[in-house]
Amino acid sequence: MGTKHKKHSLTYCYFVLILIGLLARCAPASNSGGTALPSSPPTVEFIQAPELLCRSATQIRLTPRIVGTWPSNAPATWVLTSARDDTILTQGTFSPEMTPLFAGFPGGKTLSPGDYRLTLALNETTLAQHTFSISAAAPAIDRFELTLSPTGQALSRLEPGTQHLYLRYTYQGACAGAPVWVTVKHKEQLVCAVNATLDEASGTRSVSCYRQDGAPFENGDYHAELSLMGEAFAELAFEISETPVTPTSPPTATPPPLPTPTPLPTRCEPLFAAAGLTADGAPFLPKNTFEWYSQAIYVGSHCEHLAPRTQWTAQWYRNGELGRASQGTWEGNTAGVVWDSITGIPEAPFLLPGTYTVTLTIANTQELTTTFRILYYPVQSTATP
């Protein structure tokens, strides 16, 4: 009985060992992180990653482009270090559904100027690295001025009836994505406010200011402020008023010699916006609000003392963004209507809705402006009574 029992015990042990081997062969491969990885890990590339950040930055934003299969439930780890050593400054996790990758700096504060490196790894396999610098330069505003067009001359006074204006500034020491705030006030009342971002570290840019309803600005004193990255500031004062009358000189005993005749300066009427032009160039259906199905808008001005081959340029802005720029030469008599137009295209005949501001510059001296709106398509309610 003892020998038979011993044989049964050995047979049972052999069976258990064989069963364990089969289970081990069928079990999935594991890694140190406890997550199954594909035979080859995915590759990651950071798209248009910034190489220079402002000294006021508190994070870096990266957009990963992932090629290959990302293992499920396997977040990667990003680590921020100095480019000089491997001391970890801060770290976090990332997975494809979290795109883009936001890497906040330690404590949500700024970093000292210098070079830094962000490394993205999955289970100790490096997927991507990006080295960037924190700028030591302080932002500065070199020029802040009032104009009637982005390329026009700087002004300190505007004529009554002005409907829109531009504030042009030259800056340096910034970086891509830096915030800019511009405000214009009249008697402490906010007239317009613009919040924009920069796409270059230095340069010259303009922002437009207008009333949403296209109404002209009131006469009086105005105050404009510009803030760059919350570190650099600039102010500007200007007025909208009638042209001051130049006092005449008292008569003299001996009349001065007759001046040499000079051509009379070009003089133009306020710029109009209309649905069309008549045969003699007069505006047809002039107004400042047009329906959503408008396919063409004309702007123009009746001018006198036009010299032969007078040059003109026009700039059309929609919601503050340049949409059309054109130029031409006056070929008519000494008086007539200088005009330009914007039209739809066969694929999209209706003009885009929004607020339009147009500047017509004649002979590089006359800057005429107007503002009009194209209404949005009315949305019909589908609710049943």
Residue 318 has pLDDT above 70, yes or no: yes
- pLDDT, position 33: 45
Candidate from 185-189, 214-218, 251-255, 334-338 with smallest mean pLDDT: 251-255
Residue 251 has pLDDT above 70, yes or no: no
The pLDDT > 70 percentage for the chain reads 84
Whether 226 and 169 share a structural domain? yes
Whether 124 and 157 share a structural domain? no
Candidate from 100-109, 223-232, 248-257 with smallest mean pLDDT: 248-257
Q: Is residue 254 part of a domain?
A: no
Q: Is residue 73 part of a domain?
A: yes
**C-alpha distances out from residue 372 to 282, 350, 355, Å:** 18, 16, 6
- pLDDT, position 6: 47
Whether 127 and 159 share a structural domain? no
Residue 135 has pLDDT above 90, yes or no: no
Residue 374 has pLDDT above 90, yes or no: yes
| 236: amino acid identity, one letter | L
Reading the block at residue 205, the tokens are 């840019």
Whether 271 and 353 share a structural domain? yes
Q: Is residue 220 part of a domain?
A: yes
| CATH number for the domain harbouring residue 57 | 2.60.40.1220
| 82: amino acid identity, one letter | S
- pLDDT, position 23: 46
Residue 355 has pLDDT above 80, yes or no: yes
Q: Is residue 249 part of a domain?
A: no
Segment 311-323 shows an average pLDDT of: 88
Whether 164 and 200 share a structural domain? yes
Beta-carbon contacts of 90 under 8 Å, excluding residues fewer than 6 positions away, are 80, 103, 104, 105, 106
Judging by beta carbons within 10 Å of its beta carbon (0-12, 13-18, 19+), is residue 296 exposed, middle or buried?
middle
Q: Is residue 47 part of a domain?
A: yes
Full residue range of the structural domain in which residue 293 is found: 267-374
- pLDDT, position 233: 93
Q: Is residue 100 part of a domain?
A: yes
Classify residue 274 as left (phi > 0), alpha (psi -120 to 50) or beta: beta
Domain boundary among 134, 163, 197: 134
Three-class DSSP labels, the chain: CHHHHHHHHHHHHHHHHHHHHHHHHHCCCCCCCCCCCCCCCCEEEEECCCCEECCCCCEEEEEEEEECCCCCCCCEEEEEEECCCCCEEEEEEECHHHCCEEEECHHHCCCCCEEEEEEEEECCEEEEEEEEEECCCCCEEEEEEEECCCCCCCECEECCCCCEEEEEEEEECCCCCCEEEEEEEECCEEEEEEEEECCCCCEEEEEEEECCCCCCCCCEEEEEEEEECCCEEEEEEEEECCCCCCCCCCCCCCCCCCCCCCCCCCEECCCEEEEEECCCCCEEEECCEECCCCCEEEEEEEEECCCCCCEEEEEEEECCEEEEEEEEECCCCCCEEEEEEEECECCECCCCCEEEEEEEEECCCEEEEEEEEECCCCCCCCCCC
- In this prediction, residue 254 has a pLDDT band, given cuts at 50, 70 and 90, of low
| CATH number for the domain harbouring residue 193 | 2.60.40.2550
Instruction: Please provide the average confidence, as pLDDT, over all residues in the chain.
Output: 83
Q: Is residue 151 part of a domain?
A: yes
- pLDDT, position 201: 82
- pLDDT, position 199: 79
- pLDDT, position 153: 86
Q: Is the dihedral of CA 285, 289, 291, 296 positive or negative?
A: positive
Segment 60-69 shows an average pLDDT of: 92
Q: What's the number of domains the chain is made of?
A: 3
Whether 106 and 158 share a structural domain? no
Domain boundary among 116, 134, 152: 134
| CATH number for the domain harbouring residue 338 | 2.60.40.10
The more confidently predicted of residues 15 and 181 is 181
- pLDDT, position 169: 95
Residue 174 has pLDDT above 50, yes or no: yes
d(Cα 307, Cα 311) in Å, to the nearest integer? Answer: 9
**C-alpha distances out from residue 90 to 79, 121, 132, 211, Å:** 6, 14, 15, 47
The more confidently predicted of residues 137 and 183 is 183
Beta-carbon contacts of 305 under 8 Å, excluding residues fewer than 6 positions away, are 263, 264, 265, 266, 267, 334, 335
pLDDT tens-digit series, residues 190-211: 999 988 888 788 899 988 888 8
Whether 123 and 211 share a structural domain? no
| 252: amino acid identity, one letter | T
Q: Is the dihedral of CA 244, 250, 252, 255 positive or negative?
A: positive
Whether 166 and 229 share a structural domain? yes
d(Cα 29, Cα 38) in Å, to the nearest integer? Answer: 10
- pLDDT, position 145: 95
Q: Is residue 154 part of a domain?
A: yes
Reading the block at residue 59, the tokens are 């994070």
Beta-carbon contacts of 23 under 8 Å, excluding residues fewer than 6 positions away, are none
- Cis link prior to 160 (omega < 30° from 0)? no
Whether 104 and 148 share a structural domain? no
CB 208 within 8 A of CB 357: yes
Segment 222-230 shows an average pLDDT of: 92
Instruction: For residue 365, give the nearest of 338, 384, 332, 347 by alpha carbon.
Output: 338
Domain boundary among 117, 134, 151: 134
Rank 24-28, 69-73, 117-121 by mean pLDDT and report only the highest.
117-121
Residue 130 has pLDDT above 80, yes or no: yes
Residue with tokens 């107007």: 370
Whether 207 and 144 share a structural domain? yes
- pLDDT, position 182: 94
Whether 224 and 304 share a structural domain? no
Whether 149 and 187 share a structural domain? yes
CB 303 within 8 A of CB 267: yes
- pLDDT, position 65: 93
